[in-house]
Structure 1
Amino acid sequence: MISILDKLYSVINIFGISTSFFQNFCVSLVIIYSIFQIFNNYDIINRVITSYPYNPIEFNNESLKSPITIKEFINENIPEFKENAWSLFNPFLFNGHLQTIDGGCVALDHVVSIDEFNNYEKDKILKPDNQPEIVDNNLRYMTKEEIDNQYSTDSKAIVITLTGLSGSSAESYIRCLYNKIFTKRREEFELYVVNSRGCGNVNLTTPKLFCALWTEDIRQIIKFFQERYPNRKIYLFGVSLGSIVMSNYLAEEGENSNVSLAISLASIWDLRGSSYFLENGFISSLFYSTAMTFPLMMLLKSHSNELIRNPIFKSQYTNQIIRKIWKLRDFDNVFTSKMFGFTCADDYYTNASPIYKLTKIKTPFINISSLDDPITGGLQVGALPIDQCKYNPFISMINTTLGGHVGFFKFNSERWYAEPLSNLIIKFHEEIVSKNNFNIQINEKHLPKPVLVNGQLPVKSI
């Protein structure tokens, strides 16, 4: 709980609010609300509810006796993701709110061993122009030799994570998964994290931040890896906002995504529905929306010298306007939508929502979401397009009854998805994708046919 509040402390004094008062107020609200929830839906047993396509794609290679679907693969190898699988979650985090509260230039962070991190010659570090000398105690720039050696014909796997809103490689929801993969298969997997523009203590080099529809960065990163590592397979892991960017990229690229498997966690499929849920819920509106907006406002402040070169930003970044921005929708209405050419937040949300592009995703895709997610919302706001996904043979849905928004804390406070998801990625790569003659089989006649022609219903003259 304290981790998310810490993001607010650096700015609340601007508004004359005592830090201790603000902390006690927010914590008290959540606790009081949660006590009421105890009598309604107290539950510490998390249950898995799966939803698979009616006519799923099948994977085949020379080592398999017969083609296999994602459902069959999961049922055979990942028991934690099977239908009706259950696990004990933290008894003190018994609802989605408590599970959630813990909680130009693009920077690409690469996970390495401690020895590799410390064993380098400082005078050979190549610091990019316009970037700080020191990024973080757990991060360093690459040496010239390391940059020059970014070419290989080996067949390692590459996992790339797209973070949540204003997130970076320091996020625990990423590190818990990467720690598992790195520990189990250090020699077989290379792990990377994409820090959105302006995030992770990286300076902007152009007057533009990021949005859910900005897919060019991940497109260029995949192209970068393909050119330097032509034999490596690429896996994408998108979290919250990162999952929207990932889904939009996959929809735009169709069969040419060059991604072997995509996995989304706490995805937001319909931004308009999720925005309504976020802005109108008692705790969501009062706490989450504000907590998510403050880091964004601090991003604007820290990068204002660069952003001010954008005439749209300059016209909007006034004391009169920014004093009125307390909610995420306000921020998107004033800054995100305008800076990316949309008329308003609703216009931006509609165009950026992957739910309207489901049929265009033609990459094996696994979605992991919690039904009690207090930020994205559940089935009641269309946050999980379960019925639609059944008609896309590439998409599989793994939903849980508990977990909140990127929480999923088990009885021992470890994140529930880290272990099974690491096993899924590892085994899927080793047993399916990396084998000779790997291919995806699909029955074309079962694919849904587009109804609209150029965005309109077809009209026939009589």
Structure 2
Amino acid sequence: MSEVSKWPAINPFHWGYNGTVSHVVGENGSMKLGLKDNDDQVEFDEFVNKYVPILKNGAHFNLSPYLFTGILQTLYLNAADFSKKFPVFYGREIVKFSDNGVCTADWVMNSWKKEYKFDQITRKFDTKKFGNDEKATHPEGWPRLQPRTRYLRDDELKDLGEVDLPLVVILHGLAGGSHEPIIRSLAEGLSRDGRFEVVILNTRGCARSKITTKILFTAYHTIDLREFLQREKQRHPNRKLYAVGCSFGATMLGNYLGEEGDKSPLSAAVTLCNPWDLLLSAVRMNEDWWSKTLFSKNIAQFLTRTVQVNMGELGVPNGSRPDHPPTVKNPSYYMFTPDNLVKAKRFKSSLEFDEVFTAPALGFPNAMEYYNAASSINRVDTIRVPTLVINSRDDPVVGPDQPYSIVEKNPRILYCRTDLGGHLAYLDNDNNSWATKAIAEFLTKFDELVV
């Protein structure tokens, strides 16, 4: 019997478009939240029930009747043309870290809609002026950016955070970045009313970023978020910080929250479609026919392209040997060879990629042991930040059987389980995401009402 047969598979005939939210609450109840306007305290789940009706226990939501399974929801999100929706302008910053690595931070620049004469109806703007500014700010040797994105000038970088707004940091999924429709939907929803400053932290090598060290990101990779939040707290000590993680970004966020415990400067966090148990999700993606056939190969090929375009930094000649064997504390990335890259182009699953590249780089004998060790479920008990969790039971990437019994032991976590939505989708008739709207409403109310 294969491992995956021990767990229920995604049923492609489980269908519907009228979804329901169910709360999974800690066995000791929810943590108490203090409210600004009075001395009262309210439990986390009751706060959501009272002030965030879109997410209250038993709330209903409507999705597109044409996308009536999680598989269809997820396929459509990744295949349809969303270029005219969520027209966010981004100003890019190259962020340097203590290990000499870099990532890119894409700041939502709503003021640029006026500067570049953006028309909300036609979705047109002054592309000539934007193009000239993009060309003038683009660093030599860096890849061309996605639409409506350019690098920030020095004076623009200094102006970030001039208004003392709370900041929301968004972490994207494994095969994505700030350009993803679901990330743009979330960024637009959070920044629309001017309550939050919003930034997307693009993982090293993603969203047309460069890798500058011999380190490729993994589920263990929490240094960028940690140092970025520390920097922002030092720059603006009095403003609140929030974080939202999507898919693999949610795994990184969950691991960060568990590692930091009480030291995290975040006031609250949200995870969307987190594969809490990476081992369980990896087995499904490798053995479940629907997940393997429709999604797994695309993820593997994205990871392979990330390695390919960064071989100048990651790669070593065939036959090279490390001076010391790789370990978790002292990784040596000597598996990024031309031969392995050729092999990787034939991969059909992310498990194959992690078997050849990720696990050896971290000192693990195989991908399964890496997944088992790197799962954010291992660190859930030490999360001390109020954390809202949203997962769908018809998610073809994560699967229907996430370990609620472990999550519910921590009263700081409120698990909102939905029966429909797919992976990072939740698309309605207008191709808007119910999930990103729900996250924006939760963070707005939390920031408005909670001490």
Question: Fold conserved (TM > 0.5)?
Answer: yes
Between the aligned partners of 1:347 and 1:335, the Cα distance in structure 2 is: 13
On the 8 A contact 2:134/2:151 being kept in 1, the answer is no
Between the aligned partners of 2:12 and 2:210, the Cα distance in structure 1 is: 43
Could you say which residue in structure 1 is the equivalent of 2:257?
250
Q: Does 2:358 correspond to 1:361?
A: no
Between the aligned partners of 2:348 and 2:389, the Cα distance in structure 1 is: 31
Between the aligned partners of 1:316 and 1:264, the Cα distance in structure 2 is: 36
Number of residue-to-residue matches in the alignment:
389
Displacement, 1:215?
0.3
Displacement, 1:238?
0.2
Show the 5 A alignment for 1:359-438: 359-379=381-401, 383=402, 385-432=403-450, 438=451
Between the aligned partners of 1:128 and 1:396, the Cα distance in structure 2 is: 43
Could you say which residue in structure 1 is the equivalent of 2:55?
81
SS at match of 1:417: helix
Show structure 1 runs of 5+ residues with no match: 1-33, 433-437, 439-462
Displacement, 1:125?
5.5
Distance 1:259 1:311, change over 3 A: closer
Could you say which residue in structure 1 is the equivalent of 2:72?
98
Between the aligned partners of 2:184 and 2:133, the Cα distance in structure 1 is: 26
Between the aligned partners of 1:73 and 1:398, the Cα distance in structure 2 is: 13
Displacement, 1:222?
0.4
Q: Does 2:107 correspond to 1:110?
A: yes
SS at match of 1:59: strand
On the 8 A contact 2:134/2:150 being kept in 1, the answer is no
Between the aligned partners of 1:151 and 1:48, the Cα distance in structure 2 is: 35
On the 8 A contact 1:279/1:285 being kept in 2, the answer is yes
Could you say which residue in structure 1 is the equivalent of 2:283?
276
**1:328 paired residue among 350, 355, 359:** 350
Higher percent of residues as helix: 1
Could you say which residue in structure 2 is the equivalent of 1:203?
210
Between the aligned partners of 1:61 and 1:275, the Cα distance in structure 2 is: 41
On the 8 A contact 1:316/1:335 being kept in 2, the answer is no
On the 8 A contact 2:137/2:150 being kept in 1, the answer is no
Between the aligned partners of 2:303 and 2:357, the Cα distance in structure 1 is: 10
On the 8 A contact 1:176/1:418 being kept in 2, the answer is yes
Between the aligned partners of 2:140 and 2:254, the Cα distance in structure 1 is: 32
Between the aligned partners of 1:111 and 1:48, the Cα distance in structure 2 is: 30
Could you say which residue in structure 2 is the equivalent of 1:236?
243
Q: Return the letter of the residue paired with 1:396.
A: L
Between the aligned partners of 1:135 and 1:421, the Cα distance in structure 2 is: 27
Show the 5 A alignment for 1:163-312: 163-184=172-193, 186=194, 188-309=195-316, 312=334
Q: Normalized against structure 2, the TM-score is what?
A: 0.81
Between the aligned partners of 2:247 and 2:369, the Cα distance in structure 1 is: 20
Displacement, 1:190?
0.5
Could you say which residue in structure 2 is the equivalent of 1:52?
25
Displacement, 1:150?
4.2
On the 8 A contact 1:130/1:203 being kept in 2, the answer is no
Q: Does 2:145 correspond to 1:135?
A: yes
Q: Return the letter of the residue paired with 1:90.
A: S
On the 8 A contact 1:166/1:196 being kept in 2, the answer is no
Deviations 1:95-131 (A, max 9, x none): 1110111211100000012347648994996555652
Displacement, 1:157?
0.6
Between the aligned partners of 2:71 and 2:211, the Cα distance in structure 1 is: 33
On the 8 A contact 1:126/1:144 being kept in 2, the answer is no
Show structure 2 runs of 5+ residues with no match: 1-9, 79-100, 117-128, 317-331
Between the aligned partners of 1:123 and 1:166, the Cα distance in structure 2 is: 25
Between the aligned partners of 1:319 and 1:92, the Cα distance in structure 2 is: 39
Q: Return the letter of the residue paired with 1:144.
A: D
Between the aligned partners of 1:375 and 1:139, the Cα distance in structure 2 is: 29
Between the aligned partners of 2:280 and 2:30, the Cα distance in structure 1 is: 28
Distance 1:307 1:361, change over 3 A: same
Backbone CA RMSD of aligned residues? 2.3
Displacement, 1:180?
1.9
Deviations 1:24-55 (A, max 9, x none): xxxxxxxxxx9x945xx332211111112233
Distance 1:414 1:136, change over 3 A: closer
Between the aligned partners of 2:12 and 2:396, the Cα distance in structure 1 is: 13
SS at match of 1:72: helix
Deviations 1:128-175 (A, max 9, x none): 56524x4233111111112233465x5411001100013111111111
Deviations 1:191-227 (A, max 9, x none): 0001111111112212222111100010111011012
Displacement, 1:61?
4.1
Between the aligned partners of 2:366 and 2:114, the Cα distance in structure 1 is: 47
SS at match of 2:434: coil
Could you say which residue in structure 2 is the equivalent of 1:42?
15
Between the aligned partners of 1:289 and 1:96, the Cα distance in structure 2 is: 15
On the 8 A contact 2:44/2:412 being kept in 1, the answer is no
SS at match of 2:177: coil
